[in-house]
Amino acid sequence: MSDFEKLSDGVIAGEVDRVVGLTQEAIDDGLEPKKIINNGLIAGMSVVGQRFKDGDMFVPEVMMAAKAMKSGVELVNPLLTDGETSSKGKVLLGTVAGDLHDIGKNLVGMMMESASLDVIDLGTDVDPEEFVEAVKEHEPNVLGMSALLTTTMLEMQNTIELLEEEGLRNSLKIIVGGAPVTPDFAEEINADGWSPDAASAKDQALELIG
């Protein structure tokens, strides 16, 4: 098994200590930092994303894998040179106003981070005005909104309308998700995309960023 395969394997197994040890070994052996991230750590997390999508892995295992991957990336990140920053774009994420459910949203954020997207997580119960202020401040490529209640999903529409009023809608892509949110609803409220799960949300963000 190659060093990269061992690293991927450690991420898939969610073993933080093993991943930290293997990452340090890879650094000491002089392997290229970007390859350690892409061919080892992110490669492992891609497998996790696919298995989660297929129902072969579950939330706690995905969280452990994401934690292991993050621990490895943190060791390698300081070694990347300026031109090598691994960021593929910026995503602003939040659960809408009145809604405190954040497990799904956190998974979406982890998957996105594992694909080298910069994630700014506004947390839960984020009202339209807060989303608008954060879009002005951070200028993200993508805004992702999560809702788990049939009552709060309407806040997605309120947020998009406020972004339109403020002239901010055209400069960003919007994706929505959460158990009660359907593709038809996403289209109705003028979102750019809908995803059924965290791994698909990551794929969609990357696709929309282009």
Residues that bind ligand B1M (CB under 6 A): 59, 98-105, 107-108, 144-146, 148-150, 175-180, 195, 197-198, 201
The CA distances from residue 20 to 27, 72, 74, 102, in Å, are 11, 5, 9, 27
> Do residues 96 and 75 lie in contact, with contact meaning Cβ atoms separated by under 8 Å?
no
> Residue 23 or 146: which CB sits closer to ligand B1M?
146
> Residue 62 or 76: which CB sits closer to ligand B1M?
62
- Tokens, residue 35: 């390859």
Contact partners, residue 20, CB within 8 Å, separation at least 6: 71, 72, 75
> Residue 65 or 148: which CB sits closer to ligand B1M?
148
Nearest distance from residue 111's CB to ligand B1M, in Å?
A: 8
Beta bridge partners of 194: 176
Classify burial at 37, counting beta carbons within 10 Å of its beta carbon; exposed 0-12, middle 13-18, buried 19 or more. Answer: buried
- Tokens, residue 90: 């910026």
> Residue 3 or 197: which CB sits closer to ligand B1M?
197
Task: State the SS3 of 118-159.
Answer: EEEECCCCECHHHHHHHHHHHCCCEEEEECCCCCCCHHHHHH
Nearest distance from residue 77's CB to ligand B1M, in Å?
A: 25
Nearest distance from residue 148's CB to ligand B1M, in Å?
A: 4
Nearest distance from residue 177's CB to ligand B1M, in Å?
A: 2
Nearest distance from residue 68's CB to ligand B1M, in Å?
A: 19
Task: Give the residue among 181, 139, 136 at the shortest CA–CA distance from 157.
Answer: 181
Task: Give the residue among 209, 193, 113, 137 at the shortest CA–CA distance from 160.
Answer: 193
> Residue 60 or 167: which CB sits closer to ligand B1M?
60
Beta bridge partners of 145: 94, 176
Nearest distance from residue 143's CB to ligand B1M, in Å?
A: 8
> Residue 34 or 90: which CB sits closer to ligand B1M?
90
